[in-house]
Amino acid sequence: MKKFAVISILLGVSLFAEKADVLDAKIKKSYGGSYIADVKIRHHDKDYKDFVSEWEILDQNRKPITVRLEFGPKTGKEIIESELIGFRIPKGTTKLIFRAKCSKDGFGGKEFIMELSKGNDNSSN
């Protein structure tokens, strides 16, 4: 009976935990070799204790490239759209990994992986 109670509690906790999922990401070249990123994140922002607090871009080795801080909840929205202007992609980067952080539950939601084409000049020095 104790085993059943522990399993029920763990399942209940995991059902209420809500990580932030990156649904989509796009990048485009900007001026001077920099880029602009647009992301869509799914999370039910509730209040200042539970909201998307940041998202970041990592390279294929999970080394951080840049981070975008979000200041405060966007209550009433399930899909959050955010933009980051003026970051650079290091030379040799083959993929970008986008992930979001919830102020309450941290990282751990769905990541979005973008393969960079080898034929395009998508990196800067």
Report residue 9 as tokens. 């509690």
Asked if the structure places residue 11 within a domain, the reply is no
Give which of 4, 19, 27 is closest to 99, Cα–Cα. Answer: 19
Is the pLDDT confidence value at 69 over 80? Answer: yes
* Residues 9, 15, 18, 20, CA torsion sign: positive
pLDDT band at 123 (very low <50, low <70, confident <90, very high): very low
For the whole model, what pTM was predicted?
0.81
* Residue type (1 letter), 93: T
Asked if the structure places residue 107 within a domain, the reply is yes
Domain tally, the chain = 1
Q: What is the pLDDT of residues 80-93, one digit of tens each?
A: 999 999 999 999 99
Is the pLDDT confidence value at 108 over 90? Answer: yes
Q: What is the pLDDT of residues 34-47, one digit of tens each?
A: 999 999 999 999 89
Mean pLDDT of the chain: 86
Q: What angle do CA 15, 20, 21 make, to 5 degrees?
A: 100
Asked if the structure places residue 122 within a domain, the reply is no
CATH number at residue 29: 2.60.40.10
* Residue type (1 letter), 96: L
Domain membership of residue 74 as a residue range:
19-115
Asked if the structure places residue 6 within a domain, the reply is no
Report residue 118 as tokens. 């080898």
